[in-house]
Amino acid sequence: MTIFSNNVKTKKQLSKKGALGALSAPAPVSTHKREPVHVAMFSGGAASAYVAYYIVQKYGKENCILFFTDTLWEDADNYRFMEEVAEYIGLPITYRIDGRTPEEVFFEQKFLGNSRMAKCSEELKVRQTLIFLEELRDDELREPILYFGIGGHEAHRAVNLKNFYEHNPIEPIETRFPMLETFTEDLDAKAIIRDEWRIALPRMYGLGFSHANCSGRCVRGGLGHYALLYKVWPEQYAEQEAMEERFRTKFNDFPKEVSQPQGV
């Protein structure tokens, strides 16, 4: 695993303002012909695992990358699942690690992530991904094509991702969504992985979580998600509660100061 060095150009300025910061310079004109490389955006879940398998079958592992951004909050069983999938499809995982946890991002940004705005994802996942993709272009002269395991129930995310990767890298990056565009709706990736590949799914699925991200602590989860977390992993729920308390304690004075009008 490597922790990146942060000196790569991207269209958006990758400064402390975050991955979605302002443009810093005009986009240079590409002078190289790059060979395509197919990048499976591995989330640690079943659908993205199946998509990774699909592209390796179609393009060969020498033309594919199994890419994962680690937030350091993942459940231990997710790493077990990911490594078993990597071994099954014959492609090692390319990890990118910012080195901060979501909580550390919240404290640095003085903003507690929530279901409407999650700086953790922006900093630890999106920013790392953009840096990695520009490194592929600059250092290896490869042109990435991104594959996501997004299914029909979250098709709106595909639209957002397509739009994002068209406009934020230095040059647009192609995105593909095999679960929407290639496979029929009845493809059951979880059953295939469990019954044909003989790989146990991440334990979080068995506990009822619809996503296996960040050990059930995802700040985007919403009330239903946190109700489930409280029920099945009360210690994880308590961790989140304690984090919020630490945050309130540290930044407690700020709302009082701004809420007192001058001269009152």
Residues in contact with ligand SF4 by CB under 6 A are 71, 73, 102, 113, 118, 120-121, 124-125, 213-214, 218-220
Contact 124, 111 (CB under 8 A): no
CB of 43 to ligand SF4, least distance (A): 9
DSSP notation for 27-80: PPPP-S--EEEEEEE--SSHHHHHHHHHHHHHH-GGGEEEEEEE-S---HHHHH
Which residues in 50-88 are b (16+ Cβ under 10 Å) and which e? bbbbbbbeeeebeebbbbbbbbebbbebbbebbeebbeb
Shortest reach from residue 217's CB to ligand SF4, in Å: 6
**C-beta closer to ligand SF4: residue 123 or 135:** 123
Of 55 and 118, which CB lies nearer to ligand SF4 in the complex structure? 118
Q: How far is the CB of 218 from ligand SF4 (least distance, A)?
A: 3
For residue 102, give Cα distances in angstroms to 30, 107, 113, 146, 251. Answer: 35, 9, 8, 24, 17
In whole angstroms, the minimum distance from the beta carbon of 183 to ligand SF4 comes to 25
Nearer CB in complex with ligand SF4: 82/89: 82
Of 114 and 163, which CB lies nearer to ligand SF4 in the complex structure? 114
- In terms of CB distance, is 50 or 73 closer to ligand SF4? 73
Q: C-beta of 220: minimal distance to ligand SF4 in Å?
A: 5
